[in-house]
Amino acid sequence: MGDREFIDKLNAIIEANFQRDDLGVAELAQKLHLSRSQLHRKLTAARGISASAYIKEFRLKRALSLLQQRPLTSSEVAYQVGFSSPSYFSTCFKQYYSYSPSQVKIQEPLTTFEGAVSDLPKGFSQNERTGHKGNTKNVLQRKFLLSIGFIGLAIASFFIFKGSHSETNQNKPMLIKDKSIAVLPFRNYSNDQSLEAFCDGMTDELISKLSNLADFDRVISRTSTYKFKNMQLSVPEIASELGVAYILEGSIQKADGKIRVNIQLIDANLDDHVWTDHYTGDWESRDIFDIQQQITSFVANAMQVAITANESERVRKNATQNKQAYDLYLQAKFHMFSNDEESMENARQMLGKCIALDSTFARAYSDLGFIWFASGLSEGIRNQDIAWNKGKYYLNRAQDLDPSLIKNEFNLLQGYFYFDWDFRRLEEFYHARFSKYTYDRESCGLIDYAIKTGRFKAALEVINKSIEADPLDAVLFSFKARALWFLGEKEESIAILEQMDKLNKNDWFYLREAVNSYFIMKEHAHSRRVLDIVMERFEDRSPNLIWLKLFYAHMDENIDQENARLNELQEAYTNGNSGSPAWFIALYQLTIMKDKVKTFEWLEKSYDAKEVELTWIQQEPLLEPIRNDERYLSLYRKIGFDKLISN
């Protein structure tokens, strides 16, 4: 069954049953002669959405049509389209269309876009549809308002916007006590599914630009906000989970060579709009860069966030001047966030095309360098030397083009630490940056460095700061549990992990770290349980996981499995795979075979291959029996731990 035929059949079934409030995914799957998982996979591939969300969207679109065409109340429509609760219907409707059911009559229909009018909530004004520039007086008034406090931003980009309007609640006195904000994933209100990558990219760009403004108390990072991409929660509920005072919502529409961005800044405590606006520009032009700048300045202005001259310059700075390269870059980032080998390879190829289009695109070099660098770490994807040499080249190129890219500088220094064991470079960065630490997912490596060098209290302090910035990033809690365990707080460590296990069964990054955290605590039942989830749900077969399977095969006295896993590690070492197979064979020789001679033979092989796991040599609990052995001390000194600056 092709995608079109599948969607047609799906729509026909929902059309015949959507008025029933008990219509669910199981019934849909049964009527389509599919399993629930098959339905989920097919619908996700065809439309990028879950079955339950698809049913809800179908009902909401039908509800909009009914509200526009008939004199019905919101409650009447709610029941007619299959909602059992009018209040829940109203909440879902407002979340989806950005206005309440009672406001439908004052909204303009969108007729120039592909698909039915009810497919999209907010349309272009008549001026936007016909290509006129709109009311000049209104444009000049907005330009004047922008110039107050943000002259540089306004003059640089204002004239591209045609027919935009502002609905800021200026009559409401604002007292900003908490300058904290979360930017929720922008919604794609076009029928073009390829726009999803652009929507995600727009969200990330705004998070990045707002994060560069020091006067904000807190800007929640992408990892946490994207957990709400397909969740139907109210703004106060989301804000409560993220611990912020304000929520920025947005949607993007594209049609007839134009793009429209709708924006709402919401006071989460009041569940009320502080400011709403929309921006339009030409899709093929560089208008989107100016739109990003305008939104950043308006949000800061509405929340009374000061912008310094240097910050203003950074906000105005675009990643590239080449729109085609930028579009490819956003698609590459979209793949990178999937965090699987196939997606990362797609991203790598796209970033290469970005650089071909713009040889000065620093962020494209930086992300390409990160992909190469990360592929030589613990997952065993590429040969370690090839991964680092490629990664180092691209990261250095990005550094030359834009030294202000702190994340790039850090990734480069991580590479020098993991692959070259150059403690001096990362140690200097650690002392310069740790107290001023700004969290992002890649920077977990700085926490990793603090733990590996025995600075557990400092690591815990920064982990707690990171959790404030990204309260739903589960891997931070795994690091926290590990730091607490090293500080002797085992019970608290286990309690944290057990709580996170319930909430993050599909988070590969968290699960991998949780497996290892439980293992070093000797909580083998927990470790095995999480390991089984990883092996069942993900394709990762890194040397780290092979070693754990080997360990538990030995515990079960399953000699065949034990030998098979040992052979896998030895083959990985022979083939020159990354992921530190020699290191894990050394652990096997020490913990299972109790053979210190072979332990040191494999540790030396690990040293000769410069395996990244040797950076654990100071803190690895399994090495405790050989800590005072001169062969261990010699290796410790050769790696460079004795050269660390004082803690």
Residue 254 tokens, joined? 């594209």
For residues 53 and 261, the model is more confident at 261
Q: pLDDT tier at 481 (50, 70, 90 boundaries)?
A: very high
pLDDT of residue 587: 97
Q: What is the pLDDT of residue 633?
A: 94
Q: What is the pLDDT of residues 302-318, one digit of tens each?
A: 888 998 988 888 888 88
pLDDT digits (tens, 9 = 90+) for 396-450: 999 999 998 878 988 899 999 999 999 888 888 888 776 665 655 556 778 888 9
Predicted pLDDT at 1: 64
Domain with CATH 3.40.50.10610 in the chain: 130-318
pLDDT of residue 171: 35
Give the strand pairing for 258-267 and 246-255.
antiparallel
| Mean pLDDT, residues 625-634 taken together | 95
Residue-wise pLDDT for 322-342, tens only, equals 989 998 998 898 888 776 788
Q: Which of 227, 247, 274 is nearest to 180 (CA)?
A: 247
The four Cα atoms 624, 629, 631, 634 give a dihedral, to 10 degrees, of 90
Per cent of the chain over pLDDT 70 is 85
CATH number for region 130-318: 3.40.50.10610
Higher pLDDT, 148 or 641: 641
Residue type, 60: L
Separation between Cα atoms, residue 137 and residue 291, nearest integer Å: 20
Strand-pairing partners, residue 367, are none
Question: Residue 601 has what pLDDT?
Answer: 98
pLDDT surpassing 70 at residue 487: yes
Delimit the CATH 1.10.10.60 region(s) of the chain: 3-98
Q: Does the pLDDT at position 591 exceed 60?
A: yes
pLDDT bucket at 628, cuts 50 / 70 / 90: very high
What is the Cα–Cα distance from 414 to 391, expressed in whole angstroms? 11
Rounded to an integer, the average pLDDT of 166-173 is: 38
Res 44 pLDDT > 50: yes
Question: What is the distance between the alpha carbons of residues 621 and 91, in angstroms, rounded to a whole number?
Answer: 51
- Of 87-91, 424-428, 588-592, the range with the lowest mean pLDDT is 87-91
- Kindly tell me the burial class for residue 401, based on how many C-beta atoms sit within 10 Å of its own C-beta (0-12, 13-18, 19 or more): middle
**Per DSSP, what are the bridge partners of residue 248?**
183, 265
Between 220 and 286, the more confident residue is: 220
Reported confidence tier of residue 183, pLDDT bands at 50, 70, 90? very high
Burial profile 243-271: b = 16 or more Cβ within 10 angstroms, e = fewer: bbbbbbbbbbbbbeebbbbbbbbbbbeee
Q: Is 411 left (phi over 0), alpha (psi -120 to 50) or beta?
A: alpha
Q: Which residues sit opposite 249 in a β-bridge?
A: 264
What pLDDT shows up at residue 174? 40
The mean pLDDT of the chain is 81
* pLDDT > 90? residue 129: no
Q: What element of type H or E holds 428?
A: helix 423-433
Determine which helix (DSSP H) or strand (DSSP E) holds 496, and give its type and residue range: helix 490-503
Closest CA to 259 of 290, 293, 237, 233: 290
Task: Give the list of residues 6+ apart from residue 261 with CB closer than 8 angstroms, or none.
Answer: 186, 202, 250, 251, 252, 278, 279, 280, 291, 295
d(CA 565, CA 543): 9
Q: Which residue did the predictor score with more confidence, 196 or 481? A: 481
More confident of the two residues 174 and 61: 61
pLDDT at 443: 60
3-state secondary structure of 81: coil
Residue 611: which pLDDT band, with cuts at 50, 70 and 90? Answer: very high
Q: Which of 236-240, 299-303, 527-531, 575-579 has the lowest mean pLDDT?
A: 236-240
Contact present, 463 and 483 (Cβ < 8 Å): yes
Residue 172 banded pLDDT, cuts 50, 70, 90: very low
Dihedral class, residue 149 (left if φ above 0, else alpha if ψ from -120 to 50, else beta):
left
pLDDT recorded at residue 130? 29
- Which pLDDT does position 123 carry in this prediction? 32
Residue 282 has pLDDT above 80, yes or no: yes
> Rounded to the nearest 10 degrees, how much is the dihedral formed by the CA atoms of 463, 468, 474, 477?
40
Q: Is the pLDDT of residue 631 over 50?
A: yes
Q: What is the pLDDT of residue 440?
A: 57
Q: What is the pLDDT of residue 131?
A: 31
Length of the chain: 647
**Stretch (H or E) spanning 436:** none
Distances (CA, A) of 257 to 161, 285, 334: 14, 10, 22
> Tokens in use for 111?
């007729």
**250-259, 347-356, 361-370: least confidently modelled range:** 250-259
Q: Return d(Cα 411, Cα 589) in angstroms, integer.
A: 33
DSSP 19: T
3-class DSSP state of 316: helix
Choose from 17-31, 113-127, 607-621 the range with maximum mean pLDDT: 607-621
Whether residue 31 is predicted with pLDDT greater than 50 in this model: the reply is yes
Q: Is the pLDDT of residue 158 over 50?
A: no
Residues whose CB falls within 8 Å of the CB of residue 28, separated by 6 or more in sequence, listed in order: 10, 13, 14, 39, 51, 55
Retrieve residue 163's tokens: 């027919």
Place of tokens 């229909």: 109
By the 8 A CB rule, do 352 and 335 touch? no
Cα–Cα nearest to 390, from 431, 437, 352: 352
Give the C-alpha distances (Å, rounded to integers) separating 258 from 2, 115, 261, 290, 647: 31, 16, 10, 14, 56
pLDDT of res. 152: 38
pLDDT at 467 > cutoff 90: no
Q: Do 585 and 570 contact (CB within 8 A), yes or no?
A: yes
Packing angle, helices 543-555 and 581-591, rounded to 10: 20
Categorize the per-residue pLDDT at 125 as very low, low, confident or very high, splitting at 50, 70 and 90: very low
Longest CA span, the chain: 87
pLDDT at 167: 40
The rounded distance, in Å, linking the Cα atoms of 353 and 359 is: 10
As a three-state string, the secondary structure of 439-484 is CCHHHHHHHHHHHHCCCHHHHHHHHHHHHHHCCCCHHHHHHHHHHH
**pLDDT at 392 > cutoff 90:** yes
The topology under which CATH files domain 3-98 is Arc Repressor Mutant, subunit A (1.10.10)
**C-alpha 540: how far from chain center:** 19
Q: Report the C-alpha gap between 316 and 290 in whole angstroms.
A: 8
pLDDT value of position 177: 55
Q: Which of 38-52, 95-109, 491-505 has the lowest mean pLDDT?
A: 95-109
